Chain A
């Protein structure tokens, strides 16, 4: 092999690092080949471009987010299993220390930013316009840009594994460790740029959905008649808008330190690493509320539907959502009580952190009271919701323990903390997102997911969860620290770690069953011909499944909360029935390939900056600029659906 080729394969492809990289390379190549061959054989390239890559339809964008979130959950989950395998027994060297660092970094980053975020955005997109009686979001074109920025940000982050090396300074990426002096590979740059790109998309999504909900609700749908999921999207969007700029700055300044040689967070020349830590958590703590609030929204919808009762304490539910989003800004320093901010500061943040438990407690009690004396149906969404209650309550209680600043000096960065935040993020967010996925699946795809396989997945995942994380609380008390690569036998941590690893594998099996369930149901799942398979309460269930691409042929006028349920109770569903002469032409936004190309340009620019290959970065920036310019000169980005076509569609759906 010529020298330059050897250099290339060693430096960039890391072929000298052994079988794990080779295996990944082969798998990626096979997957790509599989996709290309399948698309070509089925002649689906045009279909892919027309129906998906250029779409601005919120429902399709939602599906793409969902798919991406599940794939990223797989990637993050494989990372988790590798970590747990390494920790299963004392003195283990299954992974090298460097790989271990990289894998816990990618596990955390992917699960928060490339799994939880797209998962909530999937539900935002799928549900909100249907629930508030709109035909799309306020800015459909921007919505597509948001998706592609997320997608290409995630791609950029993921290719680091096989091209140049993954980031390895933890998902929080604290300097000075993440500065050039200690971490000179391209991995950290990948982290900074991938998060920056997807973060821009997230800010745009926050703006988009806030405007959508404020301006595009069906007539008569006053704010206090709005379904609670949409309320939770308001709360989450507000937090996104106020929190993400801080992340953008934290990342940008660290990028400048690494690329331009500035001294924001270095130890030399007066830099202050604590500034990064503050900026990061000013975003970071609100971020976990961004992902939990929509999950709270899902639980509210699911509980009311499957207890067949109006949700208990609607106004207090709204108020507590908003309170949580406000308090989320005053708790960030609890992530570093031990860094010496002083007793006064710690007291403030300790009390603020404990305060979060109050509105959250209100919500938990409201869900329980909604179930109380309800006619509960144990469907899959309801199972996940019921499982959430004890899980999140334990996680919340250990959170209050951690919020007690003096006690935190004992638990800080121990496995107690690991167990706590996995319990709230899995028990809260993942359970919630899965509940939401099961709940709205028939609305999106028009068929139900198989219940038997779903129940197996549910039990495996839940049992696995407790087996995995309960021992970690104990390990924390026994002194085991997070991010520990391996440990000696005489610490006595071996047994609990082994149990924990078994639990992780059971969870992995649970995930596998979800995948099997989806694949099985595509073929054998029961079709939903009613549009309302759960006998549910809100407007989206008054539409056929899947909804036509203009959603509502005629926008309904809303007269009360849980409108669809009330109409069914009073046998007045005819009020929403279409009449031929009510239908007028509808204007819808046109598809556009530009958001996708803009995502590609961001990817190229980001990739160039990662390796500081300036010509490539400039090429990407030119692409971004051109797509902005073409958009500025674009007039008439909408098309009209004639009334007759709508009549035909609705008649075919049996609604006219």
Chain B
């Protein structure tokens, strides 16, 4: 029951839809979030463009090939992609109204996300120890900013997941908490997609080219 429901002119709750879409007010928020993701995608698009322009501007410092550590970024990829899968399992459990499974899968997702961040931070620290700071060259500035912005997004996603976990633990699975879980998972999957591009455009091409 919300003002939006009236604004949507008696289009009352629709039981046939998935839980998170049943309440029109929640469903409209999901649409808004999709459009937000479009803007976030463009944000990353601009960072990718900057990275591609500056990729070879190493100014005599370390190059991509010298810098990137294959086992390291492979592990990061594995952790993040798996976390996206477990996040999906949380959504599935939510649709089955299985609260404890939802809580468990969110917890696993958060742990995998933290693992990803841990590897990323240690990768960055190792790079800096080798003299590859973001002030060293335009390439490194672009690299740290692109990958770091993704890492920052992941950190925000983790905090957000924890907040969602608390709410589901307290309130159970309602139309509102279902929407919240769905949206944070959209965000999480989106970060996964961005990482797929980082993996190919930054790391793989960096090692190969």
**A245-B42, A253-B145 known; A135 and B3 CB under 8 Å?**
yes
A208 contacts partner chain B, Cβ-Cβ < 8 Å: yes
| Of the residues B2, B42, B58, contact of A246 by C-beta under 8 Å | B42
User: Roughly how many angstroms separate A241 CA and B35 CA in the complex, as a whole number?
Assistant: 8
Cβ contacts under 8 Å, A250 to chain B: 46
Contact A135 B134, beta carbon cutoff 8 Å: no
- Name the contact of B6 in the complex, choosing from A138, A266, A586 (C-beta under 8 A): A586
Contact present for A249 and B5 (CB under 8 Å): no
Q: Contact at A245–B57, with CB atoms within 8 Å?
A: no
Q: Which residues of B contact A207 (CB under 8 A)?
A: 32, 35-36, 39
Contact, CB under 8 Å: B9 / A241: no
A638 adjacent to chain B (CB < 8 Å)? yes
Check A218 for interface membership: any CB of B closer than 8 A. yes
Q: Are B42 and A270 in contact, CB atoms less than 8 angstroms apart? A: no
Q: Say whether B138 contacts A245, CB under 8 Å.
A: no
Q: Mark A260-275, 1 if CB is under 8 A from B, else 0.
A: 1111101011111001
Q: Give a binary string over B125-136; 1 marks a CB under 8 Å from any A CB, 0 the rest.
A: 000000000111
Inter-subunit contact B9/A264 (CB<8 Å):
no
B1 at the interface (CB under 8 A from A): yes
Which of the segments B47-55, B74-82, B86-94, B185-193 contacts the partner chain? B47-55
Smallest CB gap from A242: residue in B: B42
CB of A632 within 8 A of CB of B163, answer yes
B53-81, CB under 8 A of A: which get 1 and which 0?
11001110100000000000000000000
- For the complex, is A134 an interface residue (Cβ under 8 Å from B)? yes
B121 within 8 A of A: no
* Chain B residues, Cβ within 8 Å of A241: 35, 38-39
CB-CB < 8 A to B209: which residues of A? Answer: none
Question: In the complex, which residue of chain A has the Cβ closest to the Cβ of B166?
Answer: A633
Given contacts A260-B135, A275-B50, contact A244 B142 (CB under 8 A): no
Chain A residues in 8 Å Cβ range of B29:
139
Q: Say whether B138 contacts A589, CB under 8 Å.
A: no
Does B208 belong to the interface (CB within 8 Å)? no
B22 at the A/B interface (Cβ < 8 Å)? no
Interchain CB contact under 8 A, A263 and B46:
no
Closest to A257 in B: B141
A380 at the interface (CB under 8 A from B): no
A214 CB within 8 Å of chain B: yes
A246 touching B46 in the complex, CB below 8 Å, given contacts A207-B32, A207-B35, A632-B167: yes
Query: Quick one: which of A215, A244, A245, A253 contacts B28, CB cutoff 8 A?
Result: A215
Contact of B9 among A218, A261, A266, A282 (CB under 8 A): A218
Instruction: Across the interface, name the chain A residue whose C-beta is closest to B163.
Output: A632
Chain B: minimal CB distance from A240 (Å): 9
CA distance A246 to B136 in the complex (A): 25
Q: How far is the CA of A215 from the CA of B11 in the complex (A)?
A: 11
Q: How far is the CB of A260 from chain B (nearest CB, A)?
A: 7
A555 pairs with B54, CB closer than 8 A: no
Does B19 belong to the interface (CB within 8 Å)?
no
Task: Please report the C-alpha to C-alpha distance between residue A632 and residue B8 in the assembled complex, in whole angstroms.
Answer: 24
Q: How far is the CA of A110 from the CA of B28 in the complex (A)?
A: 34
| Minimum distance in angstroms from B42 CB to a CB of chain A | 4
Among B3, B36, B49, B167, chain A packs the most CB atoms within 10 A around the CB of B3
B31 at the interface (CB under 8 A from A): yes
Which residues of A have CB within 8 Å of B53?
A: 272, 275
**Does B35 contact A269, Cβ atoms closer than 8 Å?**
no
A279 close to B (CB within 8 Å) = yes
Q: Does A210 contact B (CB under 8 A)?
A: yes
Is there contact, CB below 8 Å, between B138 and A263? yes
Q: Do B139 and A138 touch across chains, with their CB atoms under 8 A apart?
A: no
What chain B residues lie within 8 Å of A134 (beta carbons)? Answer: 7
CB nearest to B177 among chain A residues:
A635
6 more A-B residue pairs beyond the given contacts A241-B35, A271-B138, A586-B3, with a C-beta to C-beta distance below 8 A = A262-B135, A263-B141, A279-B46, A282-B46, A555-B7, A555-B9
Binding site for A on B (CB under 8 A): 1-9, 28-29, 31-32, 35-36, 38-40, 42-43, 45-47, 49-50, 53-54, 57-59, 61, 134-139, 141-142, 144-145, 160, 163, 167, 171, 176
A-B contact pairs, 26 of them (CB 8 A): A135-B6, A138-B32, A139-B29, A203-B39, A207-B35, A207-B39, A211-B28, A211-B35, A215-B31, A241-B35, A245-B40, A245-B43, A249-B50, A253-B50, A257-B141, A260-B134, A264-B50, A264-B54, A264-B142, A269-B59, A271-B54, A272-B138, A275-B53, A279-B50, A555-B9, A632-B163
Which 4 residue pairs are nearest across A and B when measured between Cβ atoms? A270-B57, A270-B138, A262-B141, A245-B42
